[in-house]
Amino acid sequence: MTNRHRLRAHSNLRSTRCYLSRFQWRKLLQLGPLRGTDVAAWRAVRVAVGVVVPLVVGSATRHLDYGAFASLGALTAGLASFQGLTRGRVTAVAVASVGMAVSTFVGAATAAAAPWVLVPVVIVWGYLVGLAACLGPRLSVAAIQWPVALMIAAGLPLGPREAALRAGLVLAGGLFQGVLVAVSWAFRRGGPERSALAESYRILAAYASQLAIGLFGPPSSIAFPAAAALADPNPLLPTTARLNYVDLLEQAERIRTSLAALAERAVDDASGSASRYAADVARALDLIADTLSARRVHRAGPVRELGQLLSWWAAVPCTGSPVVGEALIGQLRAVTEDLARLDTVSVRRLEGDGDRTPIVPPMQDEFGWSALTLRANLSPAGETGRHAVRLAVIVGLAELMVQATGLYEGRWVVLTIFLVLKPDYNSTVNLSAQRAIGTAIGAGLGAAGAWLAHPGPGGLIIAAGFTIAAAYALFDANYLLYSTFLTAYIVIILDVLGLPADTTAMARLTDTAIGAAFAFIAYSAWPTWEGLTAQEKFARLIEAHGEYTTALLHQFAHPGQIDPAQLRALQATARRARTDAEASTARLADEPPHPPLTPTVARTLVAVVTRLAHSELSLHAFVPRPATATDQEVGGIADADAGCLDAVAAAFSTTMSSLAMSLRTLQPPGPLPPLRRLLTALRDHTALDPRLLRITDSLVDAVYTLDDVLRRHLASP
C-alpha cells in the first residue's frame, strides 16, 4: 500500500469516527411523529389486493405455492408502483416485473445446478443495481427489486422447467399490479392533476402572503408539483382538459416571475401599496387553489368571488408598481378564464379533439435517456460508478462467504446489503440500523402470526394480507415500521412455501444483522463522500444561472431575438441546478467536513445564488414582448444602449464561467472582467429604465459576493 493510499484510508476512518461521534443514535428508534398524510391507506389497499388475490386463487386451485410465487412478484412490483405518476408508474412496474422474472429463473436454476456460480451472478446484479442509482428514484427502485427476487429464488433451488414456471408466476403477479395501477386511472381522471395544480397555486399564495407582511425574499427554487403531474398525466384525460391544465401551469410560472418583480419593487416602496397589493394577490391565489381542489358542484362560488376581486382591482390599480400590477391582473384574469372552462372540458371529449396536437410538456425518450445516462456513469471516477463497483464487490464477497461457510439462509445477508448500501453515508447508516431493528421485530411478529394462523391456508392469507397492507401504508411514514411488517409478511409467505416460520425468523434475524454490519463497514472503508462531488454540482449551478442571466440581458438589448420558450427553459434549468445544490448542501451537513467545500461554504453559496435568482426573476418580469417592444415602451432601448448591455452580458458570462472553473478546480478565481466599470457606463445612458439599472446593479453585486466567498474559502493555506 502506498503512502497516498494509507493517508486516504486513515482519512476515511477519521471521517467515520468524526461522524459516529456526533450521530444521534436515538433517532433510529423514533416511531413518530406519524402524520395522517404520510399513511397511504388507499395505496395500501390497492397494492395489497394485488398481493392477496394470487394467494386466494392459489388456495382455491389447491396450488397455494404457485399463488405464493405470484404474490411475491406482486409484492416487489407493488413497491415499484409507488414511483412515478401514471404511465411512469406502469413503466416502473413493468421494468421491475420483467427483471424479477429473469432473476427468479436465474436464481432458482443456478442454485440447483451450480451454487458457486451465484457469486459472479450476484456481482453482476450488484453492479447493475448500483449503476441504476443514476436513473432517479423511479427506475432505481424498480431495479432494486431484481436482487430481491434473485435471492429469494436462490433459497428454493429448482430445475430449469420448474424455475421457468416460477418465473412466469412472478411475472404474472407483477403485471397484475400493473393492471391495478391502470384500472385506478378510470377512478381519478383529472383529480391528481388538479390537486397538483392547487398545491402549486397555494405555494404562490404563501409566497405572496410573505410579501404582504414585509418578507421580500425570492420565491422557492423547487419546481411546481404540477410540472411532474402534467409531464406524466392520466392517459384517459381528454386532450382539451390537459391543454387547460398546461395553461394553468404556464400562468403559475408567469405569476411567480411577476411576484418576484413585485418583491423587488416593494423593497423601495415607502407607501406600502405593493405589500397591500400582494395581500390581495394572495387572496386571489387561494381562491384559485380552492377552485382547483373543490368538487365540481362547489367551484362556482370561488370563481365568482375571484371575478369580483379582479373587477375591483381594475378600478384600484397598484400605485406602487403599476406595470407589475397590470401584468398580475392579466395573468389572474387568464387563470379565471381557464377555471371557468374546467367543467366543460374535463368531463367529455369535445368535437375535433382527436385531430388536435396537444401543446404539453414534452415526454422524454425514456429508454434513450436512460442509456445515455448509464453510459455517462460507467466510469468509476464518478459517484455512481464508484457506488456500483463497491456494491458489486461487497455483495460478491458476502455471497462468497455464504458459499464457503454454508451459512444457513445466508442469502438474507446478501439481500440486506443490496437493500441498505446506498450511495450516501447517512442513508446507509440509518437504513442499516433500522433494517436490522425492524427485521428483529418483524421476524418475531411473522413467526407468531404464522403459528396462530395454522393449520388452514385461510389464516395464513389473512395474516399475509394484514402485514403487507400495513407495510405498504407505512412505506413513506417510517422505514423501521415498514421493515417490521414487510419482514413479517416474508416470514409468513415462506412458511406457505414450506420453510418453517420459526427457523426462517431466526435466520432472518441473524443474517440481516450480519448484512447490515457488512454494509456499514463497507461504506466506512470505501466511502463516496458528497464533499468530493459537490463541487461539480455547485459549478453547474453557477453556469446555469450565468447562461440564464446572459440570455435575459441579450433579450433586453435585442427584444425578440430569443424565443420566450427558450428563456423559460433556461429558467427551469437554473432552478433545477439550485435545487440540486440545496440537496447537496443538506447531504454535506450529514457528513464529516471536507474542506474547502464545507457545509458552511455551501450554504453561503446557495444564499448568494438565491439572491442572484431573485434579481433574475425580476429582470425576466420586465422582458418586453417581441410584438409590442419599442424604444418608448418599458424595456425597449436604443441601439447605443444595446451595445452597452451586450458588453455587460458578455462580461457577466465570462465572470460566471470563471467562477464555475474556480469551483471545479477548488482554486481561487482569476482576474474578472471590469463589471463595475461597465455598469457605470451603462448607468450614464439615461434612456434606460431606472428599474433595469437597479436590477443589473443587484446582479453584479451578487456576482462579486460569489467571487469574494470563493477567494476567501479557496485560498491556499
Task: Give the per-residue pLDDT at 347.
Answer: 37
Q: Which three-class secondary structure state does DSSP give residue 348?
A: coil
The three grid cell numbers given for residue 261, joined into one nine-digit string = 418583480
Q: Is the pLDDT of residue 58 over 90?
A: no
pLDDT over threshold 80, residue 81: no
Rounded to an integer, what distance in angstroms lies between the CA atom of residue 261 and that of residue 208? 12
Torsion of CA 134, 99, 144, 384, to 10 degrees: -20
**Is the pLDDT confidence value at 343 over 70?**
no
Res 17 pLDDT > 80: no
- Cβ atoms of 218 and 617 closer than 8 Å: yes
End-to-end CA distance of the chain: 28
Q: Return the pLDDT at 160.
A: 92
pLDDT band at 123 (very low <50, low <70, confident <90, very high): very high
Contacts of 62 (CB under 8 A, 6+ apart): none
Task: Give the model's pLDDT for residue 652.
Answer: 93
What is the per-residue pLDDT across 428-456, written as a single tens digit (0 to 9) for each? 766 666 767 777 777 777 777 777 766 66
Please give the distance of CA 10 from its chain centroid, rounded to a whole number: 34
The tally of CA atoms less than 13 A away on the side-chain side of residue 434 is 23
pLDDT value of residue 14: 52
Q: How far apart are CA 603 and CA 705, in angstroms?
A: 13
**Mean pLDDT lowest among 109-118, 245-254, 449-458:** 449-458
Whether the pLDDT of residue 99 is over 70: the answer is: yes
Provide the percentage of residues in the chain whose pLDDT is more than 70: 79
> Is the Cβ–Cβ distance between 514 and 382 less than 8 Å?
no
Q: Which residue has the cell 471590469?
A: 674
Enumerate the domain spans of the chain.
Answer: 37-187+368-525, 191-345, 530-713
Mean pLDDT of the chain: 78
By the 8 A CB rule, do 648 and 553 touch? yes
- Residue with the bigger pLDDT between 83 and 191: it is 191
pLDDT at 215 over 60: yes
How much of the chain exceeds pLDDT 90, in percent? 13
For residue 54, cis peptide bond before it (omega within 30 degrees of 0): no
pLDDT at 84: 63
pLDDT on residue 1:
45
Q: How many other C-beta atoms can be found within 10 angstroms of the C-beta atom of residue 398?
A: 28
Identify the DSSP state of 155: T
Torsion angle of C-alpha atoms 175, 178, 180, 185, degrees rounded to 10: -150
Q: How confident is the model at residue 694 (pLDDT cuts 50, 70, 90)?
A: confident
Q: Is the pLDDT of residue 18 over 70?
A: no
List, in order, residues 6 or more apart from 384 with CB less than 8 Å away.
130, 131, 133, 134, 377, 423
- Categorize the per-residue pLDDT at 323 as very low, low, confident or very high, splitting at 50, 70 and 90: low
pLDDT band at 632 (very low <50, low <70, confident <90, very high): very low
The pLDDT of residue 405 is above 50: yes
User: Dihedral sign, CA of 177, 179, 184, 190?
Assistant: positive
Whether the per-residue pLDDT at 633 is higher than 50: the answer is no
Selection from 235-249, 492-506, 641-655 with the highest mean pLDDT: 641-655
* pLDDT of the residue at 8: 45
pLDDT at residue 366, rounded to an integer: 60
Task: Tell me what pLDDT residue 273 has.
Answer: 74
Cell numbers for 643: 451595445
Task: Give me the half-sphere count of Cα atoms (radius 13 Å) on the Cβ side of residue 20.
Answer: 11
Q: What per-residue confidence (pLDDT) applies to 435?
A: 67
Rounded distance between C-alpha atoms, residue 332 and residue 336, angstroms: 6
Question: CA 152 to CA 411: how far, in whole Å?
Answer: 8
Residue 400 has pLDDT above 80, yes or no: yes
pLDDT digits (tens, 9 = 90+) for 256-286: 888 888 887 776 666 677 778 888 888 889 8
> Is-cis flag, bond preceding 235, omega within 30?
no
What is the Cα–Cα distance from 231 to 212, expressed in whole angstroms? 33
pLDDT at 233: 75
Category of 272 on φ-ψ map: left (φ > 0), alpha (ψ -120 to 50) or beta: left
Q: What is the pTM of this model?
A: 0.69
What are the start-end ranges of the H helices in 213-294? 225-231, 239-266, 273-293
CA-to-CA dists, residue 94 to 89, 138, 394, angstroms: 9, 12, 28
Highest mean pLDDT among 533-547, 559-573, 577-591, 612-626: 533-547
Task: Extract the runs of DSSP E, i.e. beta strands, from 431-554.
Answer: none
Q: Which residue in the block uniquely carries the three cell numbers 394462523?
A: 453
Question: What's the burial of 7, exposed, middle or buried (CB within 10 Å: 0-12/13-18/19+)?
Answer: exposed
Per-residue pLDDT, 332: 84
